[in-house]
Amino acid sequence: MAKRIPISLICAICSVLLWGQVTLTKAIMLPMNGDRVDRQRVEAVEVGTRGCEAVWDMSHAIVVEDGCTMRFFNSGDSVVARVEGKQQFVYEIKGDSVLLRSQETALSNLADSLPALKMIFPIAYGDSIYSPVYYRGKYSGNNAISTAGFFSMVVDGEGTLILQNDTVGNVFRIHERFDEKVNMSPWAKERIISADDENLLRHVRDTYSWYSSDFRYPLAQITKDSFYNGASVTREDETAFLCPPETQLYALGDVRQQRQMHAPQHPNNIGSYGYNNYSNGNMNDQMLVDKANAVAINAGDGNVDVTTPANGGINAEVILSDLHGRVYGSSRGKMVHSFDTSLLPQGIYLLYINDGENVRTERIDKK
């Protein structure tokens, strides 16, 4: 007698298949000799949420400096150097693993005794690494310095990244953390904290990077450094960079030609955030049909319906979120995607629409 497979198991398998299709491999992410990446340094932006179907909106990031160049140099098949301004990081490639062997800044030079295991390929949503680390070297001339602690990496988010001129789906967020105790000579400690502090016990560096399988380098990256003296934070630094698709020279394959930059098609209905604007409240239904992308949006009283083209099939996906990235509903694999907005508070919401070929963003005003 044939055994029946529970429907819940089938749904779970389908969910894994849908969200497990995107992986980052060594062929995608491994830097090439001579690569140059011109990034934009921006004012502090929100790290956002973690989890599946996340939405990260960085469309309002304020650029404070262009041309923050990052260069890569390969030595043979196993050593890669990354140079950013006065900083240099040297990595060793061992099979599918990447190790951080040394790091050099204007003030310090650290080499490994026990290197951080930075990456193991391929990686997918949910993958993680925990690696003990130990580095030692010189700080401010001949002052000895050593660090000991751990490095961790987790792919903690998968979803959609909203940039000023583009919306990118199937994006991974990778959270890296160095948590180290630092030992250095007293004079050198004065350079990194202040003359009044006696001990620098701990340095924590959190780096969040957003990757797409269409591009070799992160589309966005945020780094936060925290220095502790005992339980007290003595200094915090933060840097944020964007490297959007239009500035990336290293799109994989014909991605630049295949992906269409999302742009509002109806200039008379543009909202203040650069999206098409729809009202959802006590008024007549509003209907818009985008013939170019074959998408129809019906924002009625307490309900939003999005009709995607039939040829999108199982690839069609729509996400409803607020401006902070909190997701209130998602739908995929349909032609008509319906969202009940009657219980949502008043405010501005965003629709992220992937019809299987194009990705676009629309604004909904809930009144």
Residue among 283, 284, 265, 264 nearest 274 (CA): 264
- pLDDT at 159 > cutoff 90: yes
- Residues 57, 181, single domain; the answer is yes
pLDDT digits (tens, 9 = 90+) for 189-235: 554 444 344 445 789 999 999 999 888 899 999 999 998 877 788 88
Residue 357 lies in a domain: yes
Residue 305 lies in a domain: yes
Q: What is the pLDDT of residue 349?
A: 83
- Residues 312, 208, single domain; the answer is no
Mean per-residue pLDDT for 48-53?
Answer: 92
Provide the token pair at 119.
């990456």
Would you place residue 325 in the very low, low, confident or very high pLDDT band (cuts 50, 70, 90)? Answer: low
Spatial strand order of the sheet with 327-332 comes to 276-280, 359-366, 347-354, 317-322, 327-332
Residue among 132, 79, 133, 86 nearest 109 (CA): 86
Q: What is the pLDDT of residue 324?
A: 61
Question: Other C-beta atoms within 10 Å of 292: how many?
Answer: 8
- pLDDT at 255 > cutoff 50: no
Q: What is the pLDDT of residue 6?
A: 47
Q: Domain range spanning residue 149?
A: 23-247
Residue 10 lies in a domain: no
- pLDDT at 155 > cutoff 50: yes
Task: For the chain, give the percent of residues with pLDDT over 70.
Answer: 72
Mean per-residue pLDDT for 142-148?
Answer: 85
Q: What is the pLDDT of residue 277?
A: 53
Evaluated on CA atoms 189, 81, 127, 254, the torsion sign reads: positive
Mean per-residue pLDDT for 141-155?
Answer: 89
Buried b (16+ CB within 10 A) or exposed e, 46-64: ebbbeeebbbbbbbebeee
- pLDDT at 88 > cutoff 70: yes
The Cα 229–Cα 222 span in angstroms is 24
Q: What is the pLDDT of residue 366?
A: 82
Mean per-residue pLDDT for 22-26?
Answer: 81
| Phi, psi values for residue 255, rounded to 5° | -60, -40
Residue among 321, 319, 341 nearest 331 (CA): 319
Number of domains composing the chain:
2
- Residues 232, 274, single domain; the answer is no
- Residues 109, 201, single domain; the answer is yes
Residue 7 lies in a domain: no
Would you place residue 154 in the very low, low, confident or very high pLDDT band (cuts 50, 70, 90)? Answer: very high
Compare 280 and 246 and report the one with higher pLDDT.
Answer: 246
- pLDDT at 57 > cutoff 70: yes
Q: Give me the residue label for tokens 């999206």.
A: 275
Among residues 247, 272, 299, the one where a domain terminates is 247
Task: For the chain, give the percent of residues with pLDDT over 90.
Answer: 30
The Cα 205–Cα 236 span in angstroms is 10
- Residues 44, 96, single domain; the answer is yes
Q: What is the pLDDT of residue 260?
A: 37
Residue 31 lies in a domain: yes
- Residues 215, 322, single domain; the answer is no
**Lowest model confidence (mean pLDDT) among 79-88, 120-129, 179-188, 275-284:** 275-284
